[in-house]
A = this chain, B = another copy of it.
């Protein structure tokens, strides 16, 4: 018998992730940014220095073909700067502009608002987060069990 989406672990993730973005949307609309842009800004706020596109991609598990246009929009919005690294011109260094740094204060209440929307305590949210991170790590682990093609 077939498994309906509602019974699938994958669909719970897919669906919860979308629901989460819906909660973020009005908060981020007020800041003029999208959810992936908020993730990039959070990375830069925490990094406290310029990161390469590659470095941001490693944090967020996104590749340059996703990040390049996203970062260009953020640069056009005046939130970040993009400069070739003079030491290695293959790399593009992304740094916060003053406006990008200023947005951190505006965004300060967002996390508390999100947590409240989850209906979870800080501890319960952290516990669930860690379970989901562990799952994602196993899914990305190249030598995970169940070899369908490893004869």
Residues of A within 8 A of B (CB): 2-24, 27, 35, 39, 42-43, 45-46, 59-61, 104, 111-123, 125-126, 128-133, 135-136, 138-140, 144-150
Among B7, B22, B129, B146, contact of A139 (Cβ-Cβ < 8 Å): B22
In this complex, what residue of B is CB-closest to A138? Answer: B119
Distance to closest chain B CB from A104 (angstroms): 6
Contact in complex: A20, B10 (CB < 8 Å):
yes
State how many copies of this chain the complex holds: 2
In this complex, what residue of B is CB-closest to A147? Answer: B116
**Given A10-B24, A115-B149: A136 touches B16 (CB 8 Å cut-off):** yes
Task: Please measure, in the bound complex, the distance between the C-alpha atom of A122 and the C-alpha atom of B9, giving whole angstroms.
Answer: 10
